[in-house]
Structure 1
């Protein structure tokens, strides 16, 4: 991807529109063996400079966002719950000062159960965070050890209780099935214990052994066996049935919610709507561009501060956003593919008239042969007004998605 010069004072002309903000906190006390996210341990020396850099990036982007209303904010990581309440308050104040924040903003913070003391939770609630996304993964100590998680099942229960006591009424719990050496019974045990907590939202993901992770190297060396995809498929089918019986509505391949509690922020991604990412490695789709910040927290801090100093010295309010490592203006074919692939992740699928209104062509004009092929395979179904994955298609979604990608140049 060619690096582009993006000017902070460029303002879209379409008027007040909805915008999602993502802020990346890349620091962890330890890196989980399965994790391939942009996260780092052992960078304590960078932490004091990171919050000021985030605030500088907020200020650099603010002119371009002045015609937008922020409807969702998401602090992801890494481990955002490691950020002190004082720093979180500073960030929250800066967001409110620089951006038009909706009165009913959905404000999510990702958290590990280990860091969630009652005092910390009350502090988060006090500054405006109103949704927690907690990385539980399992309710079995040996599975947590395999995943290199630092918490215990008991700590999860306490963190949930403390979150409720602090006033959080919107709680997501992340879980992983299809673990190495897993069984249906152990997964059922985890899910039943978590259902008993009555979270408003659940995200359930199959374990993937990502290249470059510690888990990947252990599997490659024969120290651990590969996950069993057939077992994972059985666990997924059971999960769908059990969560439906428990009153959860599945609205995306890996996400379930109580009525009215779907994650508004993630819906922005799946609907291919604008979002602005700030922080090391954060991605954006904003003012018609895809962008990605530099991954390294150290380089990110240096780049943002240099851009901020340039803006201050210029006297015009303009500055090159040096933290943006890559960017592109997607062509129409790419935008159509993005909208189709992301939209098919939702159980409602893609509404055909919405697609035509957005792109000026029908889904058949854009993807006819691929849709026909996967419909004949039983992976896609058509209704009067939409295209969506079948139940079998939910399990084999990637086979559909790869067929919808634009041909490489």
Structure 2
């Protein structure tokens, strides 16, 4: 959404996306893409936001999926076969990442051109069905992807702003070492879990003067005095806010001491009263669930790996008993529809395995990867436990000043 003020061209861009991998603004590659967009259109302010996990019903980018699914009813899709040598090369490729890697290793193989021609008819069929749909009487628009020339035009901004940055390595492990990039983030950007913002500064030697007075940052959600509702935008506009009221912020639970509900009668064993009348209740009022036992969180009980939607760190799923193939399928189906965050239950209470499988409830997104992850053999053994960078780690202190060897 582009906003303008008066007769000026539109100097502000607001983006509200679904938070997928290509639009997750916590990733450095997406931040850099927004910086390119900010420079290319000479914007005064860019806001890239997404909704909290589990609240997709408030996100238009997610809600439109139900409309798009109508256009895919009663339609079968099949791509046109490529040349035999290309089909043979694609036979063992199970993901687009593998196809891209093969293309980079064999640039003269013409696999990209053959793959694009093979999918052209499929793309045209889907496009023709989508453009016939409407949302609130507004027709659905289908945009063509950027060409290689357009991408190169956008990348030139990165080369000008960060000449010492390797554009093939846009992970945080590498970008955190680029001083010019970190300085720009400090001067022009504000990044939170749900919003990434860019705006011009007052230094004319750095930025073209803005067309309008610089707006304030978009504030974070803040709870009112009751703690049950969020303050309206009019009350928090222009104020310094924090993420303390973020919906998915996980706090470590502290257990209250076990105290008997009443004074035991004379001659009654106090331990009996404690056993019968007390429960482990944390300061937030949640009763400790029976599956959240520390003795269960061992490498022998590790069954699966699930990725946190917030920090992208792998978390281990534990179960006392070995899972059958049917149980594993049930868990995978539920995980594909739900979004897991560190410290939350793996499955909804409606699932029969709710009390059978678990992940640690005392971890947060700031917690390192568990030791049982490396010992279980389910994931990459060379994954950094703090930043999740891949490669052989030589040094790994808590500050995550790691050295990765590729």
TM-score between both structures, scaled by the size of structure 1 = 0.23
TM-score between both structures, scaled by the size of structure 2 = 0.23
**Which one scores higher on RCO, CA 8 angstroms, separation ≥ 6?**
1
Larger Rg: 2
Bigger share in strand = 1
